[in-house]
Amino acid sequence: GFAKPLWAGAPLGDERVFVLEQNTRLVRVIVNGVVQATPFLNLSSKANSGGNERGLLGMTFHPDFANNGYFFVQYTAGASPGKTVVERYTANPPTANTVALNTNKVIFEVDQPFSNHNAGDIAFGPDGYLYIPLGDGGSGGDPGCRAQKPGNALGKLLRVDVDTIAGVPYVVPADNPFL
């Protein structure tokens, strides 16, 4: 009964299963084998649904989700070509089966020159940093050579520290060779 599911997972030690649906822009939660009627997160008012390479594209839980309730999503927004957005949301308490949109904090945004090649899955590495893959910005063959330009975020795998001082969405780790 899922509509174009792209990801399923759970925070460490959590019995629930979370399923991300690309085109409906919903994250659904399964509790004791039953899909809950109310979505865990509904981004239909923020994310677009167009095509195979847009919409709600990635989700991951903070390594300390059980204590802070933080999870992160990556989606495309705006009229085509739009932009890629990474946001943090807070489940309060972490055991909640629904999350309000107003718990968001924008971590990262980048404009997309075309509506395809948006990438999407995000994850925390064993180093505790958030990894954000970004497609090359679209069209075919990266006509803007964005992936080849160090100063352009597109076509890269970004590694950021989201456990930063208050008010700052992320910092680039000091050991990044391209800092």
**What would the pLDDT profile of 18-61 be if each residue is shown by its tens digit?**
999 998 899 999 999 999 999 999 999 999 886 678 889 999 99
The reported pTM is: 0.94
Residues 6+ apart with CB under 8 A from 36: 28, 29, 30, 97
CB neighbour burial string for 77-108, b if at least 16 within 10 angstroms, e if fewer: beeebbebbbbbbbbeebeeeebeeebbeebb
pLDDT in tens, 72-126: 999 999 887 889 999 999 999 999 999 999 999 999 999 988 888 888 889 999 9
**Does residue 166 surpass a pLDDT of 90?**
no
Distance CA 119, CA 57 (A): 7
Please check whether residue 104 is in contact with residue 43, taking contact to mean a CB–CB distance below 8 angstroms.
no
CB atoms within 10 A of CB 13: 7
